[in-house]
Amino acid sequence: MNPNKLKTVKRLVVKIGTSSLILANGQLNLKNIDELAFSLSSLQHEGYEVILVTSGAIGVGLNVLGMTRRPTEIAKQQALAAIGQVELMSLYNHMFARYQQKVAQLLLTNDVIEYPESRQNATESLNAILALGIIPIINENDAVSVDEMDHKTKFGDNDKLGAIVTNLSDADLLVMLSDIDGLYDKNPNIFEDATLIEHVSEITDQLMKSAGGAGSRFGTGGMTSKLEAAKLIFENDKQMILTNGARIWEIRDILAGKKKGTYFGQ
């Protein structure tokens, strides 16, 4: 880990997963959402440029409709994403406003990022929002993105989107907030003797194996998708911290160069 490299961070992307936004009983995790709004707003006020990549539209949609199970039908999932996205943004807007911070919404699909012209447009839009002192809040446009062989507009998961946005915005750091303290040598929810890995400088096959399986009920990616995101981070010579979304205020310690979670970088 290179504390000095973290101390020079100016622009950062924070990615928060559904498991940090929705409680196991399906209710909104207001504590985490409030801490996120406070932490990011205060950083922005101090001169950092912050971008938030958020999951949670479908989870919030389930909550709005009082449903407990994610439907299997794609059209219904997309409807839930559309319903939940409005509620999620309304909640963010309200929470950030409490800390005198304005937010903007960007809904992206993979095709936007793949075409150079629309990619450039997305970058310029992000830069313009940041220049106004506003925090862009980004999600995949789940209500319309598709995953067909000949027409693939899905990113796959928001961990990957977090890494893509980090590269797109030329940010210095991706903070990946999850429901776990970092990457362990094996799944700590299964193995009691799992130990935290503090520093990863390369994504090896061995590491990929240790990440196996999907994660929580609401989180979709599990640890594998976080390591796939880390690969994109390494390819672009960026850095990433994987840490716990239940202690969001620690982002401040991370930016001060203190050891928290797992650091991915040289």
Lookup result for tokens 């390819």: 235
Task: Report yes or no: 20 and 54 within 8 Å, Cβ to Cβ.
Answer: no
* Buried/exposed 197-223: b ≥16 CB within 10 Å, e otherwise: beebeebeeebeebbeeebbebbbbbb
Given the DSSP bridges, would you call strands 135-140 and 199-200 parallel, antiparallel or unpaired?
unpaired
Pairwise CA distance, residues 196 & 74, whole Å: 37
Count of residues binding ligand ADP (CB under 6 A)?
Answer: 22
**Selected binder of ligand ADP within 29, 178, 239, 243 (CB under 6 A):** 178
Among residue numbers 209 through 238, which ones bind ligand ADP (CB under 6 A)?
A: 210-211, 213, 215-216, 219, 221-223
Q: Specify the DSSP element, H or E, that contains 174.
A: strand 173-178
In the complex with ligand ADP, which residue's Cβ is closer, 68 or 195? 195
Q: Rule CB under 6 A: is residue 179 a binding residue for ligand ADP?
A: yes
Q: Centre a 10 Å sphere on the Cβ of residue 184 and count the other Cβ atoms it contains.
A: 19
Task: Report yes or no: 200 and 207 within 8 Å, Cβ to Cβ.
Answer: yes
Among residue numbers 17 through 76, which ones bind ligand ADP (CB under 6 A)?
A: 17-20
Nearest distance, CB of residue 183 and ligand ADP, angstroms? 5
In the complex with ligand ADP, which residue's Cβ is closer, 61 or 129? 61
Phi and psi dihedrals of 180, rounded to 5? -140, 155
Nearest distance, CB of residue 245 and ligand ADP, angstroms? 6
In the complex with ligand ADP, which residue's Cβ is closer, 72 or 206? 206
**Selected binder of ligand ADP within 184, 234, 263, 264 (CB under 6 A):** 184
In the complex with ligand ADP, which residue's Cβ is closer, 11 or 186? 186
Nearest distance, CB of residue 46 and ligand ADP, angstroms? 26
Residues that bind ligand ADP (CB under 6 A): 17-20, 178-180, 183-184, 186-189, 210-211, 213, 215-216, 219, 221-223
